Amino acid sequence: MIKVITKELIDLSVDGNEPNEVIKNMAKLIDATGRISDFEGYYQSVLEREELTSTGIGFGIAIPHGKSEHVKECTIAFGRLKEPINWQSLDDTPVEMVFLLAVPKECAGDEHLKIIASLSRRLIHEDFRGLLKTTQNANVIVREITESLAGAIAC
């Protein structure tokens, strides 16, 4: 089974003063693991999606995502920002944590929506958000996110 998230896909100190810069820096994590075939192509797919509506879901969290032919396998990168930024979130709360999703275009249906739904079910719990916000152990983050996605990923 493919690991959707690994410790190499976690950055606990992401630079960025605005969403596009954060997305670019986090997309570099995904690119460094060899999970995308064309960095610019994938990055543009995320920016195009972001133009439709903000992916700031509230609670200081954003879940930008791209479904692209440039993605080789379903991937999640997780980052904590050095400084909270405005993401035009649903609750107007500055974003502190980001989950960047990369989903192959050929994945059946709306795989990214299943991932977002699974993450969201856990993110409504304050203890889960608190753990993501404070732990310095990337392996703990990988374990917790992986458990959140049980049964959600088919590709």
Q: Does domain 7-148 have CATH number 3.40.930.10?
A: yes
Supply the pTM of this predicted model: 0.93
List residues with catalytic annotation: 65
Give me the residue spans of the domains in the chain: 7-148
- Residue 33 DSSP class: T
Judge whether residue 50 has pLDDT over 60.
Answer: yes
Which pLDDT score is estimated for 1? 45
Residue 18, token pair as written in the block: 């605005």
Is residue 124 packed enough to be buried (19+ CB in 10 Å), middle (13-18) or exposed (0-12)? exposed
Q: Give the mean pLDDT of 110-114.
A: 72
pLDDT class for 20, splitting at 50, 70, 90?
A: very high
Q: Give the mean pLDDT of 126-142.
A: 96
pLDDT digits (tens, 9 = 90+) for 96-109: 999 999 999 887 56
Give the separation between CA 97 and CA 119, rounded to whole angstroms: 13
pLDDT class for 145, splitting at 50, 70, 90?
A: very high
Judge whether residue 11 has pLDDT over 90.
Answer: yes
Which pLDDT score is estimated for 116? 82
Q: Give the mean pLDDT of 125-142.
A: 96
Which region among 38-42, 52-56, 104-108 has the lowest average model confidence (pLDDT)? 104-108
